[in-house]
A = this chain, B = another copy of it.
């Protein structure tokens, strides 16, 4: 299995990306292809020159995603996705700009048939239960049909790559009763009730971390609010614990405790997120990824490539 690594994106690129890719080669038996500056990349021990694709320009976080994809044809993102589209590699990993990867995914790799928009999920395991929340930021104004499509993509992903049988879906809403919410989710509820297998109805935001539903669907605006509120609340509580720890004899214990309590909610430990709805597997690693995180991301991508092959294709 050949995997394209964007060696230009991420806080610790290219070092962390290259080291992670080489670890993945050892551990997972994949064949890494390195996209980036040839001179720089060939200076790393263990990088085969034949597996470097030289990319002269790089897409930066500040670049407008759509514009960057059109203008920077010789960037790692564009080159890597083009190689993926042409079948020269089986999957692609980037720790760079999420927007650019999404835009590139849509323009270059293209969407699966019947998929109107690609979606960005977040993956969590809470008390051992696998959960996918999507969309968390790719689609700001989503139609009810798109929400239905996100639900199916989420189910499909959990089933094919994480082995979840009959994944259940809930619609993020302000109340559990039918008829709650804004026009968009009211219409989405009706669609889902008709067309979705294992639909569990509406879910309030307060139940997301407790409820045993697998896929939680929202548009990119509401999903982003949900995700970043979890992040902010965890951060606030962590800060409070650390500040209490300072004045306490049991400072060390308190910090350990904070870490233990909050680890389930730390979605960064899953390496990143898949881009859902594209023709081929693309994985977004966290910007702050170190080599270990790149390895985790590659593991998830390898499952994703395998899942695509095993998919029955019954879900859009």
Residue ID in chain B nearest A221 by CB atoms: B182
Instruction: Say whether A235 contacts B261, CB under 8 Å.
Output: no
Interface segment out of the listed A72-80, A110-118, A201-209: A201-209
**Interface core residue of A209, A210, A235 (most chain B CB under 10 Å):** A209
A231–B206 contact, CB under 8 A? yes
Q: Nearest-CB distance from A278 to chain B (Å)?
A: 21
A272 to chain B, nearest CB (A): 18
Known: A221-B222, A228-B205. A260 touches B233 (CB 8 A): no
Given A140-B174, A241-B261, A261-B241, A225:B228 Cβ within 8 A: no
CA distance A207 to B181 in the complex (A): 25
B208 touching A232 by the CB < 8 A rule? yes
A64 to B225, CA, bound (A): 29
- Residues of B close to A172: CB separation below 8 A: 225
Verify A236–B265 contact, CB threshold 8 A.
Answer: yes
Q: Is the CB of A233 within 8 A of B181?
A: no
Query: Which residues 89-116 in A have Cβ within 8 Å of B in the complex?
Result: none
Say whether B224 contacts A174, CB under 8 Å: yes
Q: Would you call A174 and B240 a contact (CB within 8 A)?
A: no
A48 within 8 A of partner (CB): no
Knowing A140-B174, A174-B137, say if A257 contacts B229 (CB, 8 Å).
no
Encoded as 1 (CB less than 8 Å from any B CB) or 0, chain A from 159 to 177 comes to 0000000000000101000
For residue A233, which residues in chain B have a CB less than 8 angstroms away from its CB?
209, 229-230, 233-234, 265
A218: chain B residues within 8 A (beta carbon): 225
Contact residues on A (Cβ < 8 Å of other chain), bracket: 35 or more
A28 within 8 A of partner (CB): no
Q: Is the CB of B182 within 8 A of A204?
A: no
A237 at the interface (CB under 8 A from B): yes
How far does the alpha carbon of A67 sit from the alpha carbon of B204 in the complex, in Å?
A: 24
- With contact pairs A174-B137, A261-B240 given, residues A206 and B235 touching in the complex (Cβ less than 8 Å): yes
Residue of B with least CB distance to A254: B257
Asked if B205 contacts A229 (CB within 8 A), the reply is: yes
Tell me, yes or no, whether A88 is within 8 Å of chain B by CB.
no
> Any chain B CB within 8 A of the CB of A141?
yes
Query: Which residues of A are interface residues toward B (Cβ below 8 A)?
Result: 126, 137, 140-141, 172, 174, 181-183, 185, 204-210, 218-222, 224-237, 240-241, 244, 254, 257, 260-262, 264-265
11 contacts between A and B (CB under 8 A): A140-B182, A174-B221, A174-B224, A174-B225, A205-B231, A209-B233, A210-B235, A230-B233, A237-B237, A240-B264, A241-B257
Contacts A174-B228, A204-B232, A237-B262 known; 4 new A-B pairs at CB < 8 A: A141-B182, A205-B228, A241-B261, A244-B257
